[in-house]
Structure 1
Amino acid sequence: MKTSYVSNLAIQSAMRLTIQQNQSDLLKATQEQTTGRHYDVGLALGATASRSLNLQREMDRLNSMKTTNAVVTQRLSGSQGALETMAKAAEKVRDTLVTYKGNDAATQLKIQKTEIMGALQTFTAAANTSFNGEFLFSGINTDAKPIADYSTTPPSAAKTAFDSALSTFMAAQIPALTGMDQFSVAQMQDFIKNTVEPMFTGTGWDANWSDASSQNMTSRISASEVIESSTNANAKGFRMFALASVISAELMDRNVTPEVRAAIGVEALQYAEQGIAGLNAERSSLGISESRVKKANTSIEAQLKLVNTHVADLEGIDPIETSTRINTLKVQLETSYTLTSRLQQMSLLNFL
């Protein structure tokens, strides 16, 4: 009869390896149960892992577009708020002109000028609204302040240009006008229509008022849609409001005849109405863009849900099977710990 030598050290080493393997398997299974996907997707899927990677890239692209759309939505919302403020300022000018129509008292004319200049300052502040360090109404020149302040010390370029144009027009008349009270209705209408208006509708606007680009910001909101996500201070509504404010503030309180003052009021009121209509048109345009972004986000959410479903089908694990495997591994570990403890207690001294 032959006996074989068995070392309890060898048995303990084998048990330690078993414990380490079970611990590793338990860690992986626990992570799978937590994440709901295979611990090693490439190993589990094999050749189909490329499909999973493609779906992950598509998911990243959709999430990136969703994040971009959130910024676009905030930009549009900020623009709408500023345009609403500007429209109210334009309505203030219109209402002031209507309220003080036919009033030639110096004190009333002073109040009228103060209210109109206040509305112009409110308008300018709203037009220079910025978001995330970028001006909303500068077009693609987002780092440039779109509208210059009119009332400044020293006088602004726009104020200087207006005063120069008025002096030049008066000197060019035959005979030359030496005072505002010498203006006729026809001359004042000529001055406003053919001298002042072109300063706001032509190159004078860019030279004296605006540093904005006429090209609006665009944003891609889906794979196939690009929208204008802003407007700019060169739009007609901005120009007409500024024109209405300047001619009413600069001319209405001058020493002109009541007939000339009435003619100025008529022209200013028309420009104010055009400004209000133009600003509301910009608000409508941005409203359409907001609606398109909302629809695009709905589509993106649907696509993300579909992609997530496909990814889950590929990478997902069976939670019941995983839970059973975890329980089995725990039992095996407890058994291994018990056996290891008993092996460590074995000694010949116990049998002597």
Structure 2
Amino acid sequence: MASVTLADMAQTFALRRHNTSLQSEVQRLSQETVTGLAADTGRAVGGDFTELSAITGSLARLEAYGTAATLAATLTSGTQDALEAIDSSIGALGIEMSNPTMTGTASSVDTLGKTALQAFQATVSSLNTSVSGQSLFGGTEVNTAPLADADTILSALREATAGAGTAQELEAAVNDWFASDFTAVAYKGGAERAPYTVGESDRVQASVTATDPAIVQTLKGLAMGALLSQGALEGQTAERQDLAQRAGGAILKGGDERTDLMARLGAGEGRLANIQTRNTAQISALELARTDILSVDSYESAVRLEATQTQIETLYSVTARLSKMSLTDFL
């Protein structure tokens, strides 16, 4: 029986250690050949991580700005869509109700009142829209529908205007309710969100709440028109015609204010797009700089990889001869 000496064992351990080292080198060179980047970052930067750390930090900040900009763009776009839906649901109602010819008969006033009711309900629904799980018009209360349902609001308005005997008195009562009770009874959202930080010194306001003056004016005009379908000033044809025309004027005013609001949002969208383009360009430049620091010669890595693989094959042959066994047995 052949004996195993300490020298034999030392030689075996040395061969195994060398094999492990070569296998690790193959893995490193394979990665560098495929990616073109140094597998050992410390070796690539010579132990000085200052520049690389600065680049990595800048990229992290830009990625955070990008996330905020994407969310701001999503919310702004969603808000614009909701406002466009409100425009669509209202259509030419303001013009029709403010036109004496269109309110010349009791039946025409009744019809316009029903149309105003439908537009009011659709507007409340649009204002309760959410995008990406976040309420658009609820401010900081992102998980809450900002407005009570249309029936609840109209019920409160019927109670508030119950004592009105003329169109003028009813309009005043509606104005008072929106000024004092709207936020307590109808609005369930929070304060306006803080501007989104989308750059080192760039802030973008993407939040519009249902308490915005343009929104309130729209709801006010539609509510006055909708009250015509709720029995307001019943039996007083002239007063109901007057109320219809007052509602039409309020709706038109709300339309003008919504147009201004959408223009402001559009300007913000344009500025946000420019910021996103600039941030993307900066990310590309920083990634190129990082690649320059960590890049390796893929051809050289491939040559060294082939040489290392040859060394492994030679090691297997030497080991087999020293052990007096086949390469298959060794493996």
Distance 1:214-1:16 versus aligned 2 partners, 3 A rule? closer
Aligned to 2:187: 210
Letter in 2 for 1:119: A
Q: Distance in 2 between matches of 1:338 and 1:69?
A: 61
Instruction: Quote how far apart the aligned CAs of 1:85 are.
Output: 0.8
Q: Which runs of 5+ in 2 are unaligned?
A: 1-6, 327-331
Q: Deviations over 1:72-119 (max 9, x none)?
A: 22111211111111122232532553688234244x444333222111
Aligned to 2:273: 294
- 3-state SS in 2 of match to 1:142: coil
When structure 1 is superposed on structure 2, of 77-86 and 338-347 the one drifting more is 338-347
Letter in 1 for 2:93: V
Aligned to 1:317: 296
Aligned to 2:255: 276
Distance 1:67-1:164 versus aligned 2 partners, 3 A rule? closer
The equivalent position to 2:219 in structure 1, one of 239, 242, 253, is 242
Q: TM-score, normalised by structure 1?
A: 0.80
Q: Distance in 2 between matches of 1:208 and 1:13?
A: 82
- 3-state SS in 2 of match to 1:281: helix
When structure 1 is superposed on structure 2, of 298-307 and 335-344 the one drifting more is 335-344
Q: Distance in 1 between matches of 2:115 and 2:203?
A: 41
Instruction: Quote how far apart the aligned CAs of 1:217 are.
Output: 4.0
Distance 1:15-1:213 versus aligned 2 partners, 3 A rule? closer
Aligned to 2:197: 220
Aligned to 1:165: 161
Q: TM-score, normalised by structure 2?
A: 0.85
When structure 1 is superposed on structure 2, of 40-49 and 19-28 the one drifting more is 40-49
Matches within 5 A, 1:53-132: 53-91=53-91, 93-94=93-94, 97=97, 101-106=102-107, 108-132=108-132
- 3-state SS in 2 of match to 1:221: strand
Q: Percent identity?
A: 21
Distance 1:164-1:301 versus aligned 2 partners, 3 A rule? closer
Distance 1:192-1:20 versus aligned 2 partners, 3 A rule? same
Q: Is the 1:96–1:116 contact (alpha carbons within 8 Å) kept by the matching residues of 2?
A: no
Q: Distance in 1 between matches of 2:95 and 2:139?
A: 30
Instruction: Quote how far apart the aligned CAs of 1:303 are.
Output: 1.0
Q: Which runs of 5+ in 1 are unaligned?
A: 1-6, 171-186, 348-352
Q: Distance in 2 between matches of 1:193 and 1:95?
A: 18
Distance 1:14-1:248 versus aligned 2 partners, 3 A rule? closer
Distance 1:25-1:159 versus aligned 2 partners, 3 A rule? same
Instruction: Quote how far apart the aligned CAs of 1:234 are.
Output: 1.0
When structure 1 is superposed on structure 2, of 158-167 and 22-31 the one drifting more is 158-167
Q: Deviations over 1:199-256 (max 9, x none)?
A: 22x2232233223345344211111111111211111222222222222222476445
Q: Is the 2:129–2:136 contact (alpha carbons within 8 Å) kept by the matching residues of 1?
A: yes
Q: Is the 1:52–1:315 contact (alpha carbons within 8 Å) kept by the matching residues of 2?
A: no
Q: How many residues align?
A: 318
Q: Distance in 1 between matches of 2:157 and 2:223?
A: 12
Aligned to 2:239: 260
Aligned to 2:40: 40
Distance 1:212-1:12 versus aligned 2 partners, 3 A rule? closer
Q: Is the 1:212–1:234 contact (alpha carbons within 8 Å) kept by the matching residues of 2?
A: no
Distance 1:14-1:246 versus aligned 2 partners, 3 A rule? closer
Structure showing greater Rg = 1
Q: Deviations over 1:315-343 (max 9, x none)?
A: 22121211111111111112222222233
When structure 1 is superposed on structure 2, of 24-33 and 218-227 the one drifting more is 24-33
- 3-state SS in 2 of match to 1:166: coil
Distance 1:318-1:255 versus aligned 2 partners, 3 A rule? same
Supply the RMSD in Å over aligned alpha carbons. 2.8
Q: Distance in 2 between matches of 1:280 and 1:324?
A: 67
Q: Is the 1:235–1:278 contact (alpha carbons within 8 Å) kept by the matching residues of 2?
A: no
Q: Is the 1:162–1:196 contact (alpha carbons within 8 Å) kept by the matching residues of 2?
A: no
Letter in 1 for 2:175: E
Distance 1:62-1:160 versus aligned 2 partners, 3 A rule? closer
Distance 1:255-1:158 versus aligned 2 partners, 3 A rule? closer
- 3-state SS in 1 of match to 2:271: helix
Q: Is the 1:82–1:127 contact (alpha carbons within 8 Å) kept by the matching residues of 2?
A: yes
